Amino acid sequence: MKSIIIGILIIVSGAIVCIAIPKKSNKNMNIKQRLLKAAYPMVMKMSKKNHLNNIKNEKPTSDFFKLKITMNDGSILPLDSFKGKKIMIVNTASDCGFTGQYDQLEKLYQKHKDRLIIIGFPTNEFGNQEKGNDASIASFCKINYGVHFPIVTKGEVLKSNTQQDVYKWLTDKSINGWNDQVPTWNFCKYIINEQGVLVDFFNSGIDPLGREVEEALGR
Whether 96 sits among the annotated catalytic residues: the reply is yes
The string of DSSP codes covering 152-197 is: B---B-SSSTTB-HHHHHHT-HHHHSS--PPPSSTT-EEEE-TTS-
8-state DSSP, 104: H
8-state DSSP, 151: B
Element (H, E) at 89: strand 86-92
Least Cα distance to 65 among 202, 213, 193, 180 occurs for: 193
Least Cα distance to 123 among 209, 183, 191 occurs for: 183
Query: Which amino acids are annotated catalytic?
Result: 96
